[in-house]
Amino acid sequence: KKLHVVDLGDAIEGLIHVTTRIDNVVDVVEQTKIYAEAFTEAIEILSKNFEEVHVHMTRGNHSRVSPNKKDSIDKESFEDIIAWFTETKIKGIPNAFYHDNVIHDEIILMNVLGYKIVGVHGHKHNPQTVDKVMATMLGYNPDYILMGHRHHLSEREDSGIEVIQNASMKGVDEYAISIGKVGKAGQKLLVFDKNGR
C-alpha cells in the first residue's frame, strides 16, 4: 500500500572526471533536466498504483558542480536542483509526499512499519563501518542502512543492522572500468511486512 522511493544519488554523470565529460553524450544541465522530468513522471505513475508514495533523496558525488572535489562545496550539486524540482512537481499529487532530510542534508531517515532505515549516498562512508558511525551519530541502532556510490550490489549484516549497497541505474563508466571497478546496472526493491524485510 505504501511505497518509499529512495534516490541515493549519482542520478547524473556530472563534472567529476575529464574522461566522463568527454564520454557524456548529453551535457550536465540537460542530464539534470531529463532526469528530473523522468523521475517525477515515474512518481506520478507510481502514485496511481499505491495508496501513498513517499520520496526520499540524497545527493551523490557525481553531481557536484566543481570537478575538483577539494574545491567542491557539498550544497553546490546539480542533484539539489533535481530534488527541488521533484518536491515542487509532486506537490500536485495528493498521495505523493516529499521528505526533507532533517538531521543532515545527506542522511535520509525513514520509518517503515516500525523499522528504522537510514539512507546515504556512500561516498563519505565505508560499507564496513557505516553501521557503527550511524549508530553513534543517531544515538540508536538503525535496522537497515541503504547505500549507493560504489555502483555494485553488496550486502552485509552485523549486530542486527543490515547494510544494503545498491547497484547503480547506469552501471559503470569508463573511469570506473579504468580503476578496476565493475558491476551490473540495477535497482533494488525491498518489501517489508510486520516480520521485517
Question: What is the H or E stretch that residue 88 is in?
Answer: helix 78-90
Mean pLDDT score, 125-145: 93
Q: How confident is the model at residue 22 (pLDDT cuts 50, 70, 90)?
A: very low
Q: Would the pLDDT of 15 be above 70?
A: no
Cα-Cα-Cα-Cα dihedral sign, residues 39, 44, 48, 53 = positive
Q: How confident is the model at residue 185 (pLDDT cuts 50, 70, 90)?
A: confident
How confident is the model over 141-150, as pLDDT tens digits?
Answer: 999 999 988 7
Q: How confident is the model at residue 73 (pLDDT cuts 50, 70, 90)?
A: low
Full DSSP string of 92-127: T-TTEEEE--SS-TT-EEEEETTEEEEEE-STT--T
CA-angle at 134, arms to 118 and 156, nearest 5° = 70
Q: Please say whether the beta carbons of 65 and 16 come within 8 A.
A: no
How confident is the model over 81-115, as pLDDT tens digits?
Answer: 999 999 999 999 999 999 999 999 999 999 999 99
